[in-house]
Structure 1
Amino acid sequence: MVGILTEFGPGIWIADGPDVTAAAGFRYPTRMAVIRMSSGGLFVWSPTELTDAVRSEVDALGEVRFLIAPNSLHHVFLADWQRGYPDARVYASPGLREKRRDIRFDGDLGDRPAAEWAGDLDQVAMHGNRITTEIVFFHRASRTVLFTDLIQHFRPGWFKGWRALVARLDLMVAAEPSVPRKFRAAFTDRPAARTAIARVLAWPAEKVLIAHGEPVTEGGQALIRRAFRWLVDS
């Protein structure tokens, strides 16, 4: 039997969830990552739908201790996970507390990792964007950078009709993973964004995990640099 969780590197597993429909009927795939920390507990990034099968495989890896919403757009299944794992600590990205008052948040994500996972992960807040403030993570053991929405890569044919045209113009469908044009335009504080991406590029990344697109398994740092060339070189 093929499992739901796929090992992506030392101490990190990924799983794809159901598609979700966003504004204007755009359909997005979902993906989460489960990271086993050196303490043995689990760090769940961008949780997807919590089914019995998902729960069984996650529980086999360890105790869920942290539930992470990496930006204010990725929260659809968060309340279900909180009900399923009431002892786990739930962390909000900037703006999410106001958006989801039905969820009990135990902490806020910022520009530095919390002490509980600082030994395993680093993080940077991409400030200055009108759409959302995304927290970008780096898992040291697997040398993986985790992006949520700032880098996307949909396969040709994913969108139909006028949405396909919009997606192509927005660079959601491009030759390789890219920052959509709407997110580029939404950065109102480019110096802050440039400082943040410089920290990301300092990480010794080999892999890049994105929520909306196929994972990148090699050349991760170079890909991130190409994706943000419009910002770094401006």
Structure 2
Amino acid sequence: MTINRTLPRTFRVTQNSIIRPSNHNYFVLQPSSSRHHPKLISGKSHLTPANIKFSENISIYNGTIPRALPSTQARSASTLTMSSKLIPSNPSDVAVLRSVTPNVVTVSVPFARFGIIRVGGRGTIIRLTSGTLAVFSPVALTPETQAKITELGGNVGYIIAGDIEHHIFITEWAKAYPNAKIVGPKGLAEKRAKVQDDPKIGHELFAFEWSAANKSSNAVSEEFAADFEVEYVDAHPNKEVVLFYKPDRVLIEADLMFNLPAVEQYSRVPEAQKTGHGFLNKIFESINSTSGEAKGIKRFLWYVISNGTKDRPSFNTSVQRIASWDFDTIIPCHGETVVGGGKELFNKVFEWHLQGHK
């Protein structure tokens, strides 16, 4: 397969697609004992965790998976939801702290989706003009990160979930900074409330939620509104919260745009962890790279992501509003930070959405 091939309409490689049944077109990675090169197959089926297990050999599953799960399979699938599967065992040893500006610090860590696709993870700490700190899509709270928080003033006022997937460390940060307001997309608090067997995921109340009704609101507080513009991309499958930090002209986002490969996020891991599953990583990078003409990611965003909720016009409207902001730096949660030329790169990647057509 080449990236010129039309992709399935709904991309379902998030944790959500594995944990919950979904009657959608799919793009699923499934291990097997086959020694042949895997193929990328799309189709339509009810997806559940049944028979989805991960090992060294990878292929693509194509077929119908019954909704009813044998108890042993259900227990096995439930382990996929455990936050321990998503957290580096030694975050202090692998995290990279970087001052993007005097007021914006990133904490980058290795993260492989399903233990296979190396996308990396990144939290962003922003010091508001008031001196209060906001943490976007927090990652593990290491002693080094806590020291940086103290250096920046120590007053964490906002813990921001970047979308419905980026929330694992909310509880950890909320315990360390109990006066912080937790904010994020509507529906995330309910999603977390359903998790009963993971000590990492608590049931904290959200002080502010974005929804389709207030998707451009920055009314979290006066100090928040003074420094941030916000766009809630509810037409994105992961319900993205995108921030524009006006004082330093920085765009901060979670899954709206990847910028692979994740070089910085894997810069402190052993070489052995930077390889493996090369074929699958190469394919995924080809549709999530912003380099050159960026044809792969443009097709991926147009055919898959922006059509994931069947509301591409709304997606386009959100992208067009984001493009109206005067940013120069882009900090994504997955892949490389773009320092300088961020607006031009964004316009290139989202060209079709800005035009409203291919």
Q: TM-score, normalised by structure 1?
A: 0.87
Q: 1:217 aligns with which of 331, 336, 339?
A: 339
- Runs of 5+ consecutive residues of structure 2 not aligned to the other structure: 1-94, 194-201, 263-273
Identical columns (%) = 25
Q: In structure 1, what is the Cα distance between the partners aligned to 2:192 and 2:124?
A: 22
Q: In structure 2, what is the Cα distance between the partners aligned to 1:159 and 1:216?
A: 26
Note the C-alpha offset of 1:162: 4.4
Q: In structure 2, what is the Cα distance between the partners aligned to 1:100 and 1:162?
A: 34
Aligned to 1:40: 131
Distance 1:198 1:158, change over 3 A: farther
Aligned to 2:207: 106
Q: 1:127 aligns with which of 230, 234, 239?
A: 234
Q: Between Structure 1 and Structure 2, how many residues are aligned?
A: 229
Q: In structure 1, what is the Cα distance between the partners aligned to 2:129 and 2:344?
A: 28
Aligned to 1:201: 323
Note the C-alpha offset of 1:231: 1.7
Note the C-alpha offset of 1:45: 0.7
Q: In structure 2, what is the Cα distance between the partners aligned to 1:132 and 1:70?
A: 9
Q: In structure 1, what is the Cα distance between the partners aligned to 2:319 and 2:288?
A: 20
Structure 1 segment 161-180 matched on structure 2, within 5 A: 161-168=278-285, 171-173=287-289, 175=291, 178=297, 180=300
Distance 1:4 1:165, change over 3 A: closer
Distance 1:159 1:205, change over 3 A: farther
The code of the aligned residue for 1:175 comes to S
The code of the aligned residue for 2:217 comes to R
Which stretch of structure 1 is more off in the superposition, 186-195 or 80-89? 186-195
Q: In structure 1, what is the Cα distance between the partners aligned to 2:162 and 2:245?
A: 14
Note the C-alpha offset of 1:120: 0.6
Q: In structure 2, what is the Cα distance between the partners aligned to 1:159 and 1:226?
A: 31
Structure 1 segment 44-123 matched on structure 2, within 5 A: 44-62=135-153, 63-101=155-193, 102-104=202-204, 105-109=206-210, 110-113=215-218, 114-116=220-222, 117-123=224-230
The code of the aligned residue for 2:346 comes to I
Which stretch of structure 1 is more off in the superposition, 46-55 or 149-158? 149-158
The code of the aligned residue for 1:58 comes to I
Deviations 1:185-215 (A, max 9, x none): 4152112112111111111111111111111
- CA RMSD, 1 decimal: 2.4
Note the C-alpha offset of 1:174: 5.2
Note the C-alpha offset of 1:165: 4.8
Distance 1:8 1:161, change over 3 A: closer
Note the C-alpha offset of 1:155: 2.1
Q: 2:253 aligns with which of 147, 151, 176?
A: 147
Q: Matched residue of 1:5: which SS?
A: strand
The code of the aligned residue for 1:127 comes to D
The code of the aligned residue for 1:98 comes to E
Which stretch of structure 1 is more off in the superposition, 131-140 or 97-106? 97-106
Note the C-alpha offset of 1:30: 1.2
Does residue 5 in structure 1 map to residue 79 in structure 2?
A: no
Q: Are the aligned partners of 1:127 and 1:189 in contact in 2 as well (CA < 8 Å)? A: no
Note the C-alpha offset of 1:168: 4.2
Q: Matched residue of 1:119: which SS?
A: helix
Note the C-alpha offset of 1:14: 1.4
- Runs of 5+ consecutive residues of structure 1 not aligned to the other structure: none
Q: Are the aligned partners of 2:134 and 2:158 in contact in 1 as well (CA < 8 Å)? A: yes
Q: Matched residue of 2:225: which SS?
A: coil
The code of the aligned residue for 1:126 comes to V
